[in-house]
Amino acid sequence: MGDMQITFLGTGTSHGIPVIGCHCQVCQSTDPRDKRLRTSIHIEMNGFSLVVDTTPDFRTQCLRENITRVDAVLYTHSHVDHTLGFDDLRRFCELEDKCIPVIGSKTTLLNLRRVFQYAFDGSARYPNYVRPDAREIDGPFDLAGWRIVPVDLPHGRMVTNGFVFEKNEARRFAYFTDCQSLPPPAEEAAKGVDTLVIDALRHEAHSTHFTVAGALEAAARIGARQTYFIHMCHELGHASTEASLPDSVRLAHDGLRLHL
């Protein structure tokens, strides 16, 4: 086992899959890889437990993967499908009687403070309720022996954060969810990374997300050893889509674990 373990907590778009009231082939599929909770990952680094985004499915994801400790949360942006599990962090505060670092851009933290005001202003006075320690991203930072390089990614009218994880000056892992293109600085920051995880919503063009073709082009420019697609909608069946991809590109699925 390497010194980083990545677990995909969810790999689906904001609806999740199956989509409520939908009877399409993917939503009715019996392939467990077609069942997708909202997109998030859990990373273990040298014993440090990091969650990237807390989706509305966060409690279910933690129970499924037996996550009993969270040492920090890294937020990509403040859309509800990436943040509304925030309140479930209270159990991790309670288990170890601690605050939890909540790391995000200035805009992301402002929105979290607005939506979860009770957690940040101290009005939630119950013992061991959620206690966020807000930490604003203002450039590369170190966490558990890793260098994390944030990059700005366009996502419609907002900017999300992608993250490149480096160890011993080597680019090991890049996580680019919810984006429609890669600006040159983001592409350069991830160039030659070992493992790339990137948004690939569907085949049809979308105003805020990569298509499969667009994600394939971006992956080829970055030149990762292995690429995984995430944030997929119900137009992409797992088996049929993977059959059309090169061996160096796979669809991630809920519960998939990578060891880097």
**Any idea what the CATH number is for the domain that residue 184 is in?**
3.60.15.10
**Nearest alpha-carbon partner for 127 in 101, 98, 100:** 98
- At residue 151, the pLDDT reads 98
- At residue 47, the pLDDT reads 93
pLDDT above 70: percentage of residues in the chain: 98
Tokens of 33: 């890889």
- At residue 126, the pLDDT reads 73
Q: Which domain holds residue 223?
A: 4-259
Q: How are strands ordered across the β-sheet holding 4-10?
A: 132-136, 100-104, 72-74, 48-52, 40-45, 4-10, 257-259
Name the band, by pLDDT with cuts 50, 70 and 90, for residue 1.
very low
pLDDT (tens digit per residue) in 31-48: 999 999 999 999 999 899
- At residue 2, the pLDDT reads 59
Distance between CA 139 and CA 75 in Å, rounded? 14
pLDDT (tens digit per residue) in 114-138: 999 999 987 766 767 899 999 999 9
Mean pLDDT of 79-102: 96
pLDDT (tens digit per residue) in 182-238: 999 999 999 999 999 999 999 999 999 999 999 999 999 999 999 999 999 999 999
Name the band, by pLDDT with cuts 50, 70 and 90, for residue 244.
very high
Residue type, 233: C
Mean pLDDT of 168-189: 97
Q: How many domains does the chain have?
A: 1
**Nearest alpha-carbon partner for 223 in 251, 248, 191:** 191
Residue type, 27: C
Partners of residue 38 on adjacent β-strands: 12
Residue 32 has, within 13 A of its CA and on its CB side, a CA count of 3
Residue type, 171: R
- DSSP code of 32? G
Name the band, by pLDDT with cuts 50, 70 and 90, for residue 73.
very high
Distance between CA 230 and CA 254 in Å, rounded? 10
Mean pLDDT of 163-170: 96
pLDDT above 90: percentage of residues in the chain: 95
